[in-house]
């Protein structure tokens, strides 16, 4: 039993949209950091080095 062409096309299209949705929260997070001037990954590195 095969997957019909119309359903297959919709699945492919929706998967492409999904890739954008997956990335969106990460992009928004870095955009917020850029706007606020935050660099939390550096703060972590600084703390780690201070402990050493």
Partner 1 sequence: MINILESIFKNLASWGLPVLMVITGIIEFSLGLYENKWNKNERILDIVCFVIPKIVVKPAIVYFTLLVLPLLLPGYKNKFDWVPFWWAFFIIAVADDLTQYWYHRLHHQVPWLWRFHRTHHSASYMGMAMASRQNIIYTIFFSQMYLTAALTYLGLGYAALFVTGIKSLITTAAHASIKWDQPFYKYKFLHPFAWILERLISTPATHHAHHADTTDDGVGHYKGNFGNMFFIWDVIFQTGIITRKYPSSYGTKAYKNEEWYAQFLWPIFKSQKKGSELSSDGPMVADGITDNIDLRVKKDETSMAASI
Binding site residues, partner 1, CB under 8 A: 1-4, 6-7, 10-11, 14-15, 17-18, 21-22, 24-26, 28-29, 32, 40-41, 43-44
Determine what percent of the chain falls in helix, strand and coil, rounding each to the nearest 5.
85, 0, 15
Q: Half-sphere exposure (CA, 13 Å, Cβ side) for 28?
A: 6
Q: DSSP strand E in 1-52: where?
A: none
Min CB(41)–partner 1 separation in Å:
5
Closer to partner 1 by CB, 1 or 35: give it.
1
Q: How far is the CB of 45 from partner 1 (least distance, A)?
A: 8
């Amino acid at each position: 039993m095969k997957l019909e062409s119309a359903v297959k096309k919709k699945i492919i299209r929706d998967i492409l949209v999904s890739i954008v949705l997956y990335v969106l929260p990460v992009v928004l997070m870095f955009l917020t950091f850029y706007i606020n001037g935050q660099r939390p990954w550096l703060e972590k590195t600084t703390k780690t080095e201070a402990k050493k």
